Amino acid sequence: MNYAKTAYLEQKLLNHVFLGEEYTPPTTLYLALFTTNPGRVGDTSGEITDTAYARQAVTFTAAADEATSGSFVANVYDIEFPQATTGWGTVTHAMLMDAVTGGNGLYYGPLDIVKEITTNDFLKIPVGELVVVED
């Protein structure tokens, strides 16, 4: 998965580094699923609306370096979403969020495997498959 920063995170980091403005990262990151691209603005209108759906907390590895692609982090555990009680449509994108509901998008991008989720389906992202790279 190739993820990019949202405009929100870009501005927070730039203001932190270049203006000394305080930015406190969230203590927990959550993965949200979308049927549309949330884009740089972090538009959540395409997020799954099934009442059984919930953003899932994600734990990442410490940053490491890969000489050809840059520094990266990856998910430590499987990310398992609850069983769909209605059809979710075709899940195409994901976004890391700073809150379990509402909040701000931090990184977003397309899923490597696009999947239509129908009633009673599950969606799981295995260990090491959610990778965020800084180059």
Determine the Cα angle at 58 with ends 134 and 56, to 5°: 130
Structural domain including 82 reads: 4-134
Q: 87-101 burial string, b = 16+ CB within 10 Å, else e? A: ebbebbbbbbbbeee
Tally the domains of the chain.
Answer: 1
Total-model pTM: 0.95
d(CA 87, CA 85): 7
pLDDT for the residue 1: 62
Percentage of residues in the chain having pLDDT higher than 90:
92
Distances (CA, A) of 82 to 21, 41, 51, 74: 38, 27, 10, 21
- How do residues 110-132 score in pLDDT, each as one tens digit? 999 999 999 999 999 999 999 99
pLDDT for the residue 69: 81
Q: Let me know if 40 is exposed, middle or buried by CB neighbors in 10 A (0-12, 13-18, 19+).
A: middle
- How do residues 50-102 score in pLDDT, each as one tens digit? 999 999 999 999 999 988 888 999 999 999 999 999 999 999 999 999 999 99
- How do residues 98-110 score in pLDDT, each as one tens digit? 999 999 999 999 9
